[in-house]
Every structure is written in structure tokens, then in C-alpha cells.
Amino acid sequence: QSVLTQPPSASGTPGQRVTISCSGSSSNIGRSYVYWYQQLPGTAPKLLISRNNQRPSGVPDRFSGSKSGTSASLAISGLRSEDEADYYCAAWDDSLSDVIFGGGTKLTVL
């Protein structure tokens, strides 16, 4: 079981807005940046959101990140079929002295 908790699945229809949560604690999200990764089927993960809410160059502004206290969220607006992927949050954990990933959320576009 991951230290960062994500829902195992999420879904939405094209054009909808979907949010994926990542719940942690004071030793990780509460004091560290949160990163989000998108893993399309059969491919390597790709950096989607950096430092809680910053989009790297090339990432559409449909993707946004936020953090409050010991939780973080990834929001995807204007959902598209190509957004169907696994999404992972990541952060440093001071207590474990380790980079930790959430268990991942499988997003299905209905």
C-alpha cells in the first residue's frame, strides 16, 4: 500500500472536467513539492505537473495541479480520448528519506 493515496480509477466523458486526488501526510505532501506523471498505455511516464502546479513546456493548459495541506489534486478539463492513461503523484518523504509515488489512478474516457 502506497504512502500517497490515489483512487484506483476515475472516469469521465469527452469535454468533462475530472479531478484526481493524492492524499499524503505532513512528512511528504505537507512539506514537499508534488509532481504528477502521465503514463499512456505501453509507454514510459511523462512529467505532467511540476512543483505542485507548474506545467512543463508542451503540456496543454487543460492540465492543472493544486496542493492544500497534505493533499494534492490533478485536474483535467475538456477531457479527450487521448487523456486515457494512468496518472501518478510523487513527492519526497522526510520520514522515509525516500521519493514516494502514489499507487496510480487509471483514467477512462467513456
Partner 1 sequence: QLQLQESGSGLMKPSQTLSLTCAVSGGSINSGGYSWSWIRQPPGKGLEWIGYSYHSGSTYYTPSLKSRVTISVDRSKNQFSLRLSSVTAADTAVYYCAREGDPGWFHPWGQGTLVTVSS
Residue from 13, 43, 68, 81 touching partner 1 (CB under 8 A): that is 43
According to CB under 8 A, which residues from 74 to 93 bind partner 1? 88, 90-92
Q: Is 20 in the site for partner 1 (CB under 8 A)?
A: no
Sign (positive or negative) of CA dihedral 85, 37, 54, 60 = negative
Three cell numbers, residue 17: 472536467
Sign (positive or negative) of CA dihedral 61, 52, 83, 45 = positive
Determine the Cα–Cα distance for residues 64 and 84; give it in Å rounded to an integer: 16
Q: Is 96 in the site for partner 1 (CB under 8 A)?
A: yes
Q: Is 45 in the site for partner 1 (CB under 8 A)?
A: yes
Q: Is 100 in the site for partner 1 (CB under 8 A)?
A: yes
Determine the Cα–Cα distance for residues 63 and 28; give it in Å rounded to an integer: 23
Residues that bind partner 1 in the complex, under the rule CB under 8 A? 2, 32-35, 37, 43-47, 50-51, 56, 88, 90-92, 96-104
